[in-house]
Structure 1
Amino acid sequence: MTFLTEQQRTQMLANGAARARGEALDPLPVVKLYTLDAGLVWLLTELDADGDRAYGLCDAGTGFPELGDVSLAALEAVRGPQGQPIAADPHFRPRQTLSAYAAEALRDGQISD
């Protein structure tokens, strides 16, 4: 997928494989995706072996962010209200684990990082 660098893809596949083996993990987000012209944000940690289904914290801008799966192929088709595509944030540096981001986002009603 065009959102991920090769290094991010490798890390997310490794995290996905660990979860598939039943390992308990709470990794740092690997990539932050966002809309350029709307308030949608995804902090993703894992990628299934199919290379499409990612797992992470998803904020659809409704005030109710949630942990779940998302198709990267489907995200590539999404456009904001001004026709802008989703982009990866090249400056994103995770400061905490996914569960900590999720706790903050549930408390605040949005991903604030």
Structure 2
Amino acid sequence: MSLLTPELRAALRQQACSDAADKRPLAKLFNPMGAATWLASELGEDGDTLFGLADLGFGCPELGYFSLREIEALRLPFGMRIERDLTFATRHSLAVWAAWSRKAGSILSAEALLRRATATGSDLADRFPPSG
């Protein structure tokens, strides 16, 4: 089973072909039994290469390329597999996600901080995280 619907694949491909500087992550993939999380903003022509923010749970999220096929091939204990967050949606750019994730140490911690900052009605979330 593919983690990406045809519509999501098309949106990721369209964003890959765009010259826009502030691309948003469109898909969140995660390990339901661990901390690994991926935010994908683009899909390569090969239908396999994703670009986005990868966090394997070691405290250093980084931007880069990752393979959809490799992620789909991962087998976890108890027959579980990597999943896609069906409710994921964001107005924040990948650059904002990367900055907040690096500051917080993980995508999951950044997600909580961004949600809290957004809930206050402040535009703070759209800026890079405060230092300190």
* TM-score between both structures, scaled by the size of structure 2: 0.77
Residue of structure 2 in register with 1:16 after alignment: 16
Gaps of 5+ in 1: none
- 1:75/1:24 CA distance change after superposition, 3 Å: same
Give, as a single letter, the amino acid of the residue that structure 1 aligns with 2:54: C
**Residue 29 (structure 1) aligned with residue 25 (structure 2):** yes
**Higher helix proportion:** 2
**Residue 58 (structure 1) aligned with residue 58 (structure 2):** no
Q: What is the percent sequence identity of the aligned residues?
A: 38
Is the 1:13–1:48 contact (alpha carbons within 8 Å) kept by the matching residues of 2? yes
Q: CA deviation at 1:58?
A: 0.3
Q: How does 1:1-113 map to 2 (within 5 A)?
A: 2-18=2-18, 23-112=19-108, 113=111
* TM-score between both structures, scaled by the size of structure 1: 0.89
Q: CA deviation at 1:83?
A: 4.5
> Which has the greater radius of gyration?
2
Deviations 1:45-77 (A, max 9, x none): 000111000000000000000000000001011
User: Superposition RMSD on alpha carbons, in Å?
Assistant: 1.5
**Higher strand proportion:** 1
Q: Whole-Å Cα distance in 2 between the matches of residues 95 and 26 of structure 1?
A: 10
